[in-house]
Structure 1
C-alpha cells in the first residue's frame, strides 16, 4: 500500500464496495492520522481525472447545448415559423427556468439517493429526449411545455456533477475539476454555434428542415452520450473496477481526511445536515453572488446571437452563428485558468473580486459606444470574466461544509439560486429595447457591481474571522 500510517496499520478487506465503516486510522473526532504518500496521490489523482472527468464533461457539454440552442434556432427562423411576437421568446425561456429552479434541490438530493453513477446518465438521456421533442413543436405553448420538461431533467445536472466530483477530490482540488466540465458552458456556446452552422448547411434531416434539424440531431447525440454514461461512469471510488484495492482505500482516505468530525465519507440523507448545508452563511452569500453572475451568463447564452446580429446587421445567418464562437472560446480559457490558480492558492473569493470589475468594464463599453468593434470586444471581456464563477462558486460552497449530505444540499442551493438569475436573464433583453439593449446592459452592469460589493464584504468577513485574539472585541480572561 502507498499509505504510511503513523499509528494503527489496517488492511483492506475482501469486500471492496463498501468503505463507509471505520477509516484506516482515525482519531476520536474523526480526524485522519494517516500520512498519504504524495507521489501515490498524484498518480491516483491523474487516474481519476482521466477516468471520470471526460465523460461528465461531454455530458454537460450537451446539457448546455440543448439549453442554449434556442438562441441559435431563433435566428435560424424558429421565431418566424412559430409566429412569435412581443414577449413570446422570453416566455419560452421562463418556462424552462421555472422547472429548473423548482427541481434543483430535489434533483440533487435524488442524485445522492440513487447514486450519481446512475442518475447523471439517466437524466442525460431524458433531457436528450426532451430536446429531440422540440423539433416537432408548432406553437409557442407547445415550445413552452417542452422547455419546461427540459428544465425538469436538466435541473440536477450541474449540481449533480459537482457533488459527484466531491466524492473523488479534496476541497482545494475541487474547483479546478469542476471547471473542467463547467468550461463546457462557453465551449458549448462556441461549439453550438459551429454545430448549428454545420447542421444548417444540410438540406434536411429526415423530414425536418432548418431550425428543427438543430433540436433533432443534437437531441439524438445527447441520448447516445447518456447511454455511454450508463456503461462508463463509476458511482464512487469503492465500486471502481479500474482501481486496485489499495487505490480504493487511498481514494477514500484522502477525501475522508478532510471531513473533521465524521467517520463516513457517504452517509444517509439527514434533515439536520441538509439544513446545515443550505443555511451555511458561506453557501448563502456565495449563492447570491452566483445568482447575480448568472443573470449575465445565461443572458449571454440566450441572447449573444441576437446581440451579435445587432452589431453586424448585414451578416448572413451562417456568419452570425460563426461570430458567436470566438467570445466563448476566450471565456473557456479563463474558466479553466482562474480555478486552476485557485487550486494552487486554495482561494476562490479573491477571483470573484478580480472578475467583477472586468464584467463592469465590458458593460460600460456596451452602454457608452455604438462602434461595432468596441461592442464586439466587450462580449470577449464579459465572457472571460463571468464563466469562471460557476466552478469557483460550487467549489467554495463545497469546501465550507463537512458532511456528504450537507455538501449535496449546499451545491444544490448554490445552483438553484444561480438559476433564479437565469430566470431574470430571460427578461433582461426585451424586444423593444434593441438594438442597444440599454436596460439589459444596464442590468448586467448593476449585477456585476453588486457582485464586487458582496465579494469584498465576504473577504472582509473572512479577514475578521481570521483575527482570532487580535479582534478588537476580544477580551483577555486571566
Structure 2
C-alpha cells in the first residue's frame, strides 16, 4: 500500500479533467494539428502505400505470368510469398530501437534510406529467372522493409494525442488499401501488354520500384523530425506546450531502458494485442495476397477480370476503415469496435466456404472489407495504451514481430486452389480467436481504469505495482 501525495492527486485530477478541445489557444491548436496532418500524414501514407505495394505485388505478378516464366509451382510460389518474413520479423524490433538510439533527430533520413533500399530490391526483382533468385529478392525485401511500419507508428505516437492515433493509423492502412487497388489497376493494364523486350509481369516490378524510389526523396527531405519543426508563431508554440503537458505521461522521459523493456514484455495487454494482431494479419495477408487468385481460381473469372475486380474491393475497405477509425477516436473505444467489425468477417468467410454462386462470393469479399484492416486499429490500441516512449517502442515492435508471423502462415494455408477451403476455414477460426482476445482485453482495461480512479479518489495506491510511471501511473487513462 502506497500513500500518494495529495498535491499530486489534485494535479492528476485536473489534467485528466481537461479535454482535448479545451486548449487555451483552440484556433492555434487546430491550425497546428492541420499543419501536422499536411506535413506528416501524406508523406508517411505514400511511403506505406509503396511498402504494401512492393511487398504484395508478387500476387499480381503471378496472375500476369511470372510463375510460368520462371518455372515455379504453386507450392514454391507460396514459399516465396512467406519467405519475406524470414528477414522481416527478426529485424523489426531492432530496427525501431536503432532509430531511437542513433537517429532520434534524423528520423526522416533513416526512413528515406529504408524506402530507397527496398525500392532498389523491387526494381531488381524483374531480373529473377529462377526459384532461387526470387527467394533471394524476397529475403532482401523483407530485410529492407522490416522496421518501417513499427518506426512510423512510434513517430506518429510522438506527434499526436492518444485520441488522435487510430484515425492517423487508418490513413496508413487506407494507403495500403489503395496500393492493393493500384496494384490491381497496374495488373489489369500490364495483362494487356503483349509486346516489348520485357515480359508483362516484369513491368510491375520496374514501374512500382521506380515510383517508390523517387518518392523516397520526399520523406528524406520533407518530413519533420519533431513537432517543434512545424510550429508557426507564438500562439502555436503555446498550443504545442499545452499539448505536451496534456500528454505528459505519454511522452514523458523514459526511465531505465531495461526496466521499461521488462515492463513491456511482462504486460498482459501486449500479448492479447499480439494475439489479435496475428489473427488479423492472417486475414489481411491471406486476403490481400491471394484475392486475384481467389477471383480467378474459385470464382472463375478470367485473368483480366480477376485483376480489375479487386480494385473496388480495396477502395471500399480503405474508406470503411477510415470511417470507423475516426469513430473509434471520437468514442475512445477500440475493443468492442474490433469485435463488432469482425462479425462481418465471420459472415463473409462463411459465404466463401459455402457452395454459393460467384456473385454471392464476390459480395462476401465486401463483407470481409469491414475487418480487413483491423490490425491497424489494434496497432493504435497498443500504442495508445503503452507509455512512455521506450516501452511503447518495445510494445509496438513485439506486437508487429510476433503478429507478422501470420505472413509466414497465411501463404501456407492458402496453398490448395481452386477453392482455398483450408485458407478460408483457418482465417475464420482466427477471426473468432481475435474477437475473444479483444473482449478480454477491453474488460481488463476497464478494470484497470476503475482501479486507477479509485487510487486518485482515495489517495492510497494498493494496486501492488512496483512501477508507477507511464501507463502504470494512477492518472493514466486506458483506451478500451
Asked if these proteins are the same fold (TM beyond 0.5), I'd say: yes
Answer whether contact 1:30 1:262 (CA < 8 A) is retained: no
Q: Which residue of 1 aligns with 2:459?
A: none
Contact 1:259 1:402 survives alignment (8 Å): no
Q: Distance in 2 between matches of 1:209 and 1:256?
A: 57
Aligned to 2:444: 461
Equivalent in 8, 30, 48 of residue 60 of structure 1: 48
Match of 1:277 in 2: 264
CA distance in 1, matches of 2:368, 2:59: 18
Q: Report the CA distance between 1:351 and its aligned residue.
A: 1.2
Pick from 44, 51, 60: which aligns with 1:72? Answer: 60
Query: Contact (CA 8 Å) 2:88, 2:143: kept in 1 or not?
Result: yes
Please tell me whether the aligned partners of residues 353 and 424 of structure 2 are also in contact (alpha carbons under 8 angstroms). Answer: yes
C-alpha separation between the residues in 2 aligned to 1:51 and 1:405? 25
**Structure-2 residue corresponding to 1:17:** none
Provide closer, same or farther for how the CA distance between residues 216 and 270 of structure 1 changes in structure 2, counting only shifts above 3 A. same
- Residues in 1 aligned to 2:339 and 2:263: alpha-carbon distance in whole angstroms: 26
Structure 1 residues 263 and 335: CA distance shift in structure 2, 3 A: closer
Match of 1:105 among 93, 100, 111: 93
Aligned to 2:342: 356
Specify every segment of 5 or more residues in structure 2 that has no aligned partner in the other structure, as ranges.
1-9, 455-461, 463-480
2:124, 2:190 → 1: CA distance? 17
1:309 aligns with one of 296, 303, 317: 296
Q: 1:36 to 1:101 in 2, by over 3 A?
A: farther
Question: Which residue of 2 is the match for residue 181 of structure 1?
Answer: 172
Give 1:380's aligned residue: 366
Counterpart of 2:274 in structure 1 is 287
What is the CA-CA distance between 1:63 and the residue it aligns to?
0.6
1:36 Cα deviation after fit: 4.0
Deviation readout 1:336-367 (Å, 9 max, x if unpaired): 01110011101111111111211111111011
* Residue 435 (1) aligns with residue 418 (2): yes
CA contact (8 A) 2:15 2:246 kept: yes
CA shift in 2, pair 1:374/1:187, >3 Å: same
Deviation at 1:177, TM superposition (A): 0.7
Determine whether 1:336 maps to 2:312: no
User: Which of 137, 154, 160 is residue 128 of structure 2 equivalent to?
Assistant: 137
With the length of structure 2 as denominator, give the TM-score of the two structures: 0.85
**More helix as a share of residues:** 2
Give 1:165's aligned residue.
Answer: 156
Cα distance, 1:167 vs structure 2: 1.5
Q: CA deviation at 1:101?
A: 0.8
SS of the residue aligned with 1:370? Answer: coil
Q: Is 2:30 aligned against 1:42?
A: yes
Shift of 1:309: 0.3
Structure 1 residue 452 corresponds to structure 2 residue 397 = no
**Which among 112, 118, 127 is matched to residue 118 of structure 2?**
127
Residue matched to 1:407: 392
Number of aligned positions between the proteins? 439
Q: Deviations over 1:148-193 (max 9, x none)?
A: 1101111112111111111110011011111111211211111110
Q: How high is the TM-score relative to the length of structure 1? A: 0.85
1:424 has 2:414 as partner: no
> What root-mean-square deviation, in Å, do the aligned CA atoms of Structure 1 and Structure 2 show?
2.7
Match of residue 221 from structure 2: 231
1:311-348: CA deviation from partner (whole Å, max 9, x where unpaired) = 44252x22221011121111111110111001110111
